[in-house]
Copies of this chain bind each other. A is one copy, B any other.
């Protein structure tokens, strides 16, 4: 960058020395005054405060980071910002961090482990003090990076896989099984599933497994053609659903890996003149705003997104402060019955 790149060249920002001089104290006192006011006399604190205001001083981030070896920054890598469920979890995380003056650095992996590893590298290079990750599917290299730096991290959205790192999530298998259980309870026997792409996504895989297990328990199964994996978009789900609706033995219920997929399903049904729920039942997962914006509103699973976000913040902050690794937490989910799930057509129970 050329010397004059700055839009207002020549301006020098006041440093801690300027403040110290003006307040008639040492830089150490200024630093303490700002960072641990309790360790400074009231009168001194006020003098410093006054000087700070007068000069418009703000601490230099680099200097602070270098000297304290902390950036007060937490990184989060989510699959995508386009699904509101992650956006809302991040919001809660950010609010929690903000109470302790920690900022959140967000990156996305686009559901790609390779991307995720690259983002981990970037965030570590940015000197984050801790990291929030989604799910347990990760390249070995990613764990090596994390380990090499020794940066604390928590995993969200999954159930604890092992004792390696704290996990704050829910049981995707059980939640998906509960959905399937409810679908079966409505008399459905020809059940299909549109899932997210399982490769590199343990949540998607677990949900498939949960559905499979529940079906098996009822003496049913997810026949090969009745399980379609696709990207989490309305469009792709619409195509997948179309395929299911045109198959030989059309399912009477489609269990979807999330609400976005379910919305695509509804669109396909409408396009093919299939009535929901009288001809076809559809279920979602997540309970985002979309679930009730579409018609019929989606039976789905309420996921504790805000709690995961907030807990993750607490866990990480506590870890950084005390050095004690937080425990893993499994939060409850709740099946939400809505119009999109109805009884199987009489002839096909």
Across the interface, do A5 and B294 meet the contact criterion of CB distance under 8 Å? no
Nearest CB in chain B to that of A101: its residue? B122
Across the interface, do B293 and A7 meet the contact criterion of CB distance under 8 Å? no
Q: What 1/0 flags go to A301-325 for Cβ under 8 Å of B?
A: 0000000000000000001111101
- Residue of A91, A126, A263, A293 with most partner-chain B CB within 10 A: A293
Across the interface, do A126 and B152 meet the contact criterion of CB distance under 8 Å? no
Q: How far is the CA of A102 from the CA of B323 in the complex (A)?
A: 31
Taking a contact as CB atoms closer than 8 A, the residue among B63, B125, B323 that contacts A66 in the complex is: B63
Interface: A60 (CB within 8 A): yes
Across the interface, do B62 and A5 meet the contact criterion of CB distance under 8 Å? no
Interface: A220 (CB within 8 A): no
Interface: A209 (CB within 8 A): no
Across the interface, do A292 and B5 meet the contact criterion of CB distance under 8 Å? no
Number of identical monomers bound together in the oligomeric complex: 2
Q: How far is the CA of A108 from the CA of B93 in the complex (A)?
A: 12
Known contacts A103-B122, A127-B60, A234-B293; is A320 also within 8 Å of B81 by CB?
Answer: no
Shortest distance in angstroms between A32's beta carbon and chain B's nearest beta carbon?
16
List of B residues within 8 angstroms of A122 by Cβ: 103
Q: How far is the CA of A260 from the CA of B264 in the complex (A)?
A: 17
Across the interface, do B91 and A150 meet the contact criterion of CB distance under 8 Å? no
Identify which of residues 265-299 in chain A touch chain B, using a CB-to-CB cut-off of 8 Å: 266-267, 270, 289-290, 292-295
Interface: A64 (CB within 8 A): yes
Interface: A233 (CB within 8 A): yes
Question: How many residues belonging to A are interface residues under a CB distance threshold of 8 Å?
Answer: 71
List of B residues within 8 angstroms of A6 by Cβ: 150, 323
Interface: A224 (CB within 8 A): no
Shortest distance in angstroms between A54's beta carbon and chain B's nearest beta carbon?
13
Known contacts A124-B58, A322-B2; is A152 also within 8 Å of B7 by CB?
Answer: yes
Known contacts A60-B127, A65-B65, A81-B90; is A150 also within 8 Å of B7 by CB?
Answer: yes
Across the interface, do B56 and A65 meet the contact criterion of CB distance under 8 Å? no
List of B residues within 8 angstroms of A332 by Cβ: none
Q: What are 20 A-B pairs at a CB distance below 8 A?
A: A1-B70, A2-B323, A61-B62, A61-B71, A61-B126, A62-B66, A65-B66, A80-B87, A82-B289, A84-B84, A87-B87, A91-B108, A103-B105, A234-B289, A260-B289, A264-B293, A266-B295, A270-B295, A290-B293, A293-B294
